[in-house]
Amino acid sequence: MTSAVLLLFSVSLIIFQMSCQKSLIAQSSTQTSNKILLKKDIERQVGTTVDSSGQSIPVYRYSTDFYIVQNDGTNLSKINIVMPSGEYPAGNGLISPDGEKLIFNAFSISNHPSVYSCFLNGSNLIKLVDGSYQVQGAY
């Protein structure tokens, strides 16, 4: 009798464990970007300053132009970004995982960093972060 009770108890534990089993189904994203981001660093005048004698002096910095090309090398086009006065794109950028936006570093004439986003046509410019952050990659 004791063996039958233990057998039924063990079977009930196994059935209970099977009913509580968790399964994980990974969902993969079918949306991938077929665009490649290119950058070109250019030294350009980003503003002016005034020296002690009152003379205007141009301020030059390395600024970045961003380009998009299809992953087969076709349709190279520049992303025309209109930045606020005294700020300019500089450094790294990346395309958002949905392939719709550019996220990039920017600096002010006084070298104050920030991170912006815009659509790949340069419209809808939004300041995401103001401070000492850098774009590193999409995760």
Q: Angle 5-7-12 (CA atoms, 0-180°, nearest 5)? A: 95
Is 52 in contact with 66 (CB distance < 8 Å)? no
Count of CB atoms within 10 A of residue 32's CB? Answer: 10
- The C-alpha atoms of residue 67 and residue 137 are separated, in whole angstroms, by 17
* pLDDT string in tens for the chain (139-residue length): 666 656 555 656 566 555 554 444 444 444 556 889 999 999 988 888 898 999 999 988 889 999 999 988 889 999 999 999 888 998 889 998 888 999 999 988 777 889 999 999 999 999 998 877 667 654 3
For CA atoms 106, 108, 110, 113, the dihedral sign is negative
Q: Whole-model pTM? A: 0.67
